[in-house]
């Protein structure tokens, strides 16, 4: 098991280094000059050059990359070009909102996906199965940038049950969580259905039925635990998406999280903040996928033997 952990940590470190370099280089290829944003295009040449030197933008890109990596090693993400605040403080301010939205959306996902997937598998080729899969297809097909305004129109403007945007009022997380959770639950429900159907054909399931267990007991106690590996894969990827900050959903609902901070930084050409946000999103994905791989080894001993 320790060998599995060591290999996974090594590969994770290599991926993280690659992400840091790639993000830095791509950000510097984005059109636009932060100096123009900060001073305006009518600023004097001397003032522009002085600001460029003070920000370190006059150095070659490779030198800037080395300085950036040294700062990361010391947990220094730099300062925002726009507000001059430490970027770590900006991320710490926005991260709780993203975590709150991610956990709420994950709860919605599990509440919808588990019953739908199990019912579709238990009632295979019936109206229940077709209805559950139709809902899944609908959830996958509707994009968040359409679902969000639709929920706002119905539940915020027409019915007045929830606030339109922001995070201050009670219940503000419900509509963005539904927007995220509905689409993610559709994917997870289909995976649960297919995994459980595959397990239901195994001999140990027939043995469980032969012992007199009910369909519910067979599904919950025997079929679902043995169908978890592919479900964990999808759930890990979805959790990475949620914790990384759903950019579209946070923008639609003006939810003050990492996703909205990323959009604001792009609009203001705030390169250090964009780099930090994208790096945080990438690191979240990598860490959660690494944790998922380790969870595989804990759940299925055959994976530990194979590695």
pLDDT of residue 245: 54
Q: What is the pLDDT of residue 302?
A: 57
Which pLDDT score, from 0 to 100, does residue 40 have?
63
Rounded Cα distance, 171 and 166, in Å: 10
* Residues 213, 214, 218, 221, CA torsion sign: negative
For residue 100, the model assigns a pLDDT of 87
- Please report the pLDDT score of residue 33 as a whole number: 65
Q: What is the pLDDT of residue 32?
A: 64
Contact between 134 and 140 under an 8 Å Cβ cutoff? The reply is no
Per-residue pLDDT, 289? 76
- Quote the CA–CA distance of 294 and 244 in Å, as a whole number: 20
Please check whether residue 256 is in contact with residue 97, taking contact to mean a CB–CB distance below 8 angstroms. Answer: yes
Which residues of the chain are under the pLDDT cut of 70?
1-5, 30-43, 47, 51, 54-56, 241, 243-245, 296-307
Q: Which of 269, 249, 282, 272 is nearest to 98 (CA)?
A: 249
Residue 213 exposed, middle or buried by CB count within 10 Å (0-12, 13-18, 19+): middle
> Within 13 Å of residue 264, how many CA atoms lie on the same side as its CB?
19
Token pair in block for residue 270: 């705030």
Task: Give residue 59's pLDDT.
Answer: 76
DSSP structural state of residue 86 = B
User: Backbone phi, then psi, for 108, in 5-degree steps?
Assistant: -60, -40
Token output for 257: 């999280």
**What is the pTM for the complete model shown?**
0.78
Domain architecture of the chain: domains with CATH: 2-73 (no CATH), 87-306 (1.10.3720.10)
Q: What is the pLDDT of residue 244?
A: 60
């Amino acid at each position: 098991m320790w060998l599995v952990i060591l290999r996974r940590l090594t590969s994770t470190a290599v991926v993280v280094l690659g992400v840091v370099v790639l993000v830095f280089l791509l950000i510097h290829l984005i059109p636009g000059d932060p100096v123009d944003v900060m001073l305006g295009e009518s600023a004097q040449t001397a003032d522009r050059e002085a600001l460029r030197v003070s920000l370190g933008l006059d150095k070659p890109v490779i030198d800037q990359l080395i300085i950036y990596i040294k700062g990361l090693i010391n947990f220094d993400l730099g300062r925002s070009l726009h507000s001059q605040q430490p970027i770590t403080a900006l991320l710490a301010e926005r991260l709780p909102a993203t975590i709150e939205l991610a956990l709420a959306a994950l709860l919605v996902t599990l509440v919808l996906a588990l019953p739908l997937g199990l019912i579709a598998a238990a009632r295979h080729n019936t109206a229940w199965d077709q209805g559950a899969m139709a809902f899944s297809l609908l959830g996958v097909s509707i994009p968040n940038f359409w679902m969000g305004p639709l929920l706002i129109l119905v539940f915020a403007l027409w019915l007045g049950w929830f606030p339109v945007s922001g995070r201050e009022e009670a219940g503000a997380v419900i509509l963005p969580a539904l927007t995220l959770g509905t689409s993610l639950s559709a994917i997870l429900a289909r995976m649960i259905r297919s995994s459980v159907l595959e397990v239901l054909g195994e001999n140990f399931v027939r043995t469980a039925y032969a012992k007199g267990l009910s369909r519910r007991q067979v599904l919950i106690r025997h079929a679902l635990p043995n169908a978890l590996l592919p479900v964990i894969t999808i759930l890990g990827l979805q959790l990475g998406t949620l914790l990384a900050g759903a950019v579209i959903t946070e923008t639609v609902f003006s939810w003050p999280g990492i996703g909205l901070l990323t959009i604001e930084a792009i609009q203001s050409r705030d390169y250090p903040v964009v780099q930090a946000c994208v790096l945080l999103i990438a690191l979240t994905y990598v860490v959660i996928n690494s944790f998922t791989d380790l969870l595989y080894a804990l759940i299925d001993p055959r994976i530990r033997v194979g590695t």
